[in-house]
Amino acid sequence: MRLLEEFWYGNIEPTEYDTNACKEYKEVLHLITRNEEKLQATMTDEQKELFSRYTDAVREYQTMAECLLFQNSFKLGARMMLEVMDE
């Protein structure tokens, strides 16, 4: 039960993942950042405000999608455990 204790006390954050090992993740993140900077350099203040609202909405959507993915993945893992224990 050590894992459950660590989770209970907040020492395990299920939404965190190690991106250091994923070269592709770093490359895509760098590309996104570089392109956003180039795009904003060409925008008016009004366009920057609109883009900011857009990116905030996308972040909120991504957070909800990640939460749903976590829930569904957890349920799938639990079903797998039950099936293994039934055998």
Q: What is the mean pLDDT of each run of 10 residues along the chain (87 residues)?
A: 81 74 88 96 97 97 92 91 86
Q: What contacts 75, CB < 8 A, 6 or more positions away?
A: none
Q: What contacts 12, CB < 8 A, 6 or more positions away?
A: 3, 6
Reported pTM: 0.68
End-to-end Cα separation, the chain, in angstroms: 23
CB–CB of 29/35 below 8 Å? no
Residue found under tokens 């909405």: 57
Residue 7: predicted pLDDT: 80
CB–CB of 66/15 below 8 Å? yes
Residue 86: predicted pLDDT: 84
Give me the amino acid identity at 10: G
